[in-house]
Amino acid sequence: MAGSLAAAFLVTGVFAALAYAFGMVSRGGAVGGFAVGTVIYACLGPQGFAVLALFVVGGSALTRLGYRSKERRGIAQARRGRRGARNALANCGVALLCALLAALTGSETFAVAFVASLGAAFADTAESEVGSLARRTPRLITTFRKVPPGTDGAISLPGTLAGLVAASLTASFGLIVGLVGGLETALLVAGAAFLGTVADSLAGALTPRLGNELTNVLCTLVAAALVSILA
């Protein structure tokens, strides 16, 4: 146990430092990410941390994609895309809970739910960042009327496809590292992760004052809950 904790501190500390150095996170985000990453590594080992790293690196890359164009249109992430502690908790809080439950119970279902929750967070980021670059005007998920880019609950074909790819990539990676057992379960994880983003969009359209952090929590929670029920 002491060895795994030492490895968790070392690996997560190096990763958090690099994430800050490369402008992926703010100082608060680095501290929050270090805390979340350490617990996940301690609970699910390097496999769990690798899935978390996929989301962090992939999400940051998508945020920087076409950043100047997004900035000119007033829809870019603040602070040059550096994510803060609140963002880390909103996107990874459910995954953190799943990792803890997996370690405490030894249940593979919670490990699969962990992957699904991060897949939903990654898919949601992909939909937002790629969708905001779409040439065609996005539409509100509830009424399909055209709305300005960046509107809560707005969807687009490029964004939706990007979300499906991100969800599938996370599920496939979970299968490769051994947290997801079998192709059928991986398909379930990908589907649950994508449905989490649908819940996010619906919540954004119906309750726009809910806030991005709370809809992110809902997105990941729906994905984890679906897998927990169906796996």
pLDDT > 70 fraction of the chain, expressed in percent and rounded: 95
Give the model confidence (pLDDT) of 60-85 as tens digits: 999 888 777 777 776 666 666 688 88
| Structural domain that includes position 139 | 47-230
In a domain, 41, yes or no: no
In a domain, 133, yes or no: yes
Average pLDDT over the chain, rounded to an integer: 92
Structural domains counted in the chain: 1
* Assigned token pair, 6: 């030492």
Average pLDDT over residues 21-25: 89
In a domain, 35, yes or no: no
- Give residue 2's pLDDT: 44
What separation, in Å, do the N-terminal and C-terminal C-alpha atoms of the chain show? 29
The CA-based angle 69-73-79, given to 5 degrees, is 75
In a domain, 5, yes or no: no
3-state secondary structure of 227: helix
In a domain, 16, yes or no: no
pLDDT exceeds cutoff 90 at 47: yes
- Core vs surface per residue 79-115: b (16+ CB within 10 A) or e: eebbbbbebbbbbbbbbbbbbbbbbeeeeebbbbbbb
Confidence of residue 161 (pLDDT cuts 50, 70, 90): very high
pLDDT exceeds cutoff 90 at 130: yes
Q: Quote the pTM value.
A: 0.93
In a domain, 105, yes or no: yes
- Give residue 70's pLDDT: 74
In a domain, 181, yes or no: yes
In a domain, 6, yes or no: no
Confidence of residue 149 (pLDDT cuts 50, 70, 90): confident
Average pLDDT over residues 201-214: 90
3-state secondary structure 140-182: ECCCCCECCCCCCCEECHHHHHHHHHHHHHHHHHHHHHCCCCC
pLDDT exceeds cutoff 60 at 3: no
